[in-house]
């Protein structure tokens, strides 16, 4: 690992991660404002060939979605405080995407894609100047439009989202309320036409704390969720939903690491059953000061992964 490479990573950098099974992509920002893509395809790519995707304002949020890594979309905030998209298609490479929406200068960004069908159907969430959380998207045709407003949130709240198919198409968005509680907004296509509040809640959370979420395997009558957030004691806390109630997960045990103050985080997963699913969580814990650390859930327990992913 090269300390000089780690020093290029922005302290409290936004982190986004996507995957196609165990082929991984992680996005971070460097001190020059560039969004960099780090790849894992059986091994981490050399730090000297980490790809630069685009340049954004310093401290911009980053969100990413993909369809088997053949189609990738990365969302960020420009220097003019507009929500923008960097797009990748396997037959085209990287290019400027199709959105340019004004958002609050302190807005964070979350994104997910709807799981049904072959097209990449995105839903993107950011905060407007009135502090409401707005949903945008298109249905695979590139014709972006405004969808629902999810209501007011804490100015500068972190955002996380995930979508899944069980008996119906469902979307979950996690954010911090004006009262600094972490809450869940739910959309279930067959049961309600509007967004509603879900069961998930963490009262009096650290203001503007990191939030990241993923969905695991779903059946026709149940689904499974994981949410990670940064707590007051500088540890990531895992909350798990196995179809009934929210409970504490295993990541907040003494064997798991602490974080730097203000770390951001990202989580990805593959596999569906409790015995075979894999998760990777990325955050800054102080390795080489600003390196992004990977922890892995496999074989039914959390274990250290890469101490500092490239460019470290």
Q: What tens digit of pLDDT does each residue of 79-88 get?
A: 999 999 999 9
Instruction: Say if 310 falls within a structural domain.
Output: no
Average pLDDT over residues 274-301: 91
Average pLDDT over residues 257-271: 95
Task: In whole angstroms, give the CA distance from residue 286 to residue 242.
Answer: 32
- The predicted pLDDT at position 1 comes to 43
Instruction: Say if 45 falls within a structural domain.
Output: yes
Instruction: Say if 312 falls within a structural domain.
Output: no
Task: In whole angstroms, give the CA distance from residue 39 to residue 52.
Answer: 12
2 has a pLDDT exceeding 60: no
CATH number, domain of 125, equals 2.120.10.70
| Separation in Å, CA 216 to CA 49, 225, 255, 267, 276 | 32, 6, 23, 11, 11
Mean pLDDT of the chain, nearest integer: 93
Adjacent-strand bridge partners of 29: 35
Q: pLDDT confidence of 199, banded at 50, 70, 90? A: very high
Average pLDDT over residues 223-245: 95
Instruction: Say if 175 falls within a structural domain.
Output: yes
Instruction: Say if 86 falls within a structural domain.
Output: yes
Average pLDDT over residues 186-198: 87
User: Which 3 state secondary structure label does DSSP give 3?
Assistant: helix
Instruction: Say if 122 falls within a structural domain.
Output: yes
Average pLDDT over residues 100-126: 94
Q: For the chain, give the percent of residues with pLDDT over 70.
A: 96
90 has a pLDDT exceeding 70: yes
Instruction: Say if 311 falls within a structural domain.
Output: no
Q: How would DSSP label each residue in 40-91?
A: EESSBPPGGGPEEEEE--TT--EEEEEETTTEEEEEEE-TTSEEEEEEEETT
5 has a pLDDT exceeding 70: yes
Q: What is the residue range of 221's domain? A: 3-304
Q: What are phi and psi of 219, to 5 degrees?
A: -115, -175
- The predicted pLDDT at position 272 comes to 63
Average pLDDT over residues 258-270: 96
Task: In whole angstroms, give the CA distance from residue 200 to residue 27.
Answer: 27
Among the ranges 2-6, 46-50, 127-131, which has the highest mean pLDDT value?
Answer: 127-131
51 has a pLDDT exceeding 50: yes
Adjacent-strand bridge partners of 66: 72
Average pLDDT over residues 246-270: 94
- The predicted pLDDT at position 48 comes to 63
Q: How many domains does the chain have?
A: 1
- The predicted pLDDT at position 47 comes to 67
- The predicted pLDDT at position 43 comes to 94
Q: For the chain, give the percent of residues with pLDDT over 90.
A: 80
Average pLDDT over residues 251-264: 93
User: Which 3 state secondary structure label does DSSP give 151?
Assistant: strand
Instruction: Say if 210 falls within a structural domain.
Output: yes
Average pLDDT over residues 114-121: 85
């Amino acid at each position: 690992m090269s300390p000089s490479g780690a020093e290029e990573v922005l302290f409290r950098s936004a982190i986004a991660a996507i995957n196609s099974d165990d082929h991984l992509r992680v996005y971070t920002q460097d001190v020059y404002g560039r969004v960099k893509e780090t790849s894992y395809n059986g091994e981490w790519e050399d730090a000297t060939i980490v790809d630069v995707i685009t340049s954004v304002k310093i401290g911009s949020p980053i969100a990413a979605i993909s369809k088997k890594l053949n189609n990738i979309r990365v969302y960020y905030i420009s220097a003019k405080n507009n929500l923008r998209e960097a797009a990748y298609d396997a037959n085209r490479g990287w290019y400027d995407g199709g959105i340019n929406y004004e958002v609050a200068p302190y807005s964070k960004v979350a994104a997910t894609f709807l799981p049904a069908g072959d097209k990449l159907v995105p839903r993107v969430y950011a905060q407007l100047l009135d502090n409401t959380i707005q949903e945008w998207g298109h249905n695979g045709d590139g014709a972006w439009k405004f969808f629902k407003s999810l209501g007011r949130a804490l100015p500068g709240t972190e955002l996380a989202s995930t979508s899944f198919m069980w008996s119906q198409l469902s979307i979950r968005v996690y954010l911090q309320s004006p009262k600094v509680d972490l809450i869940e907004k739910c959309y279930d296509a067959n049961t309600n036409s509007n967004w509603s509040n879900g069961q998930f809640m963490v009262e009096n959370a650290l203001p503007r704390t990191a939030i990241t979420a993923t969905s695991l395997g779903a059946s026709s009558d149940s689904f499974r969720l994981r949410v990670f957030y940064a707590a007051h004691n500088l540890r990531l806390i895992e909350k798990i939903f196995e179809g009934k109630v929210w409970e504490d997960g295993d990541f907040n045990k003494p064997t798991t690491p602490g974080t730097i103050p203000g770390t951001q985080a990202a989580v990805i997963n593959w596999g569906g059953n409790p015995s075979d699913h894999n998760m990777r969580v990325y955050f800054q814990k102080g390795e080489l000061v600003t390196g992004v650390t990977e922890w892995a859930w496999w074989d039914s327990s959390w274990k250290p992964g890469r101490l500092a992913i490239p460019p470290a």
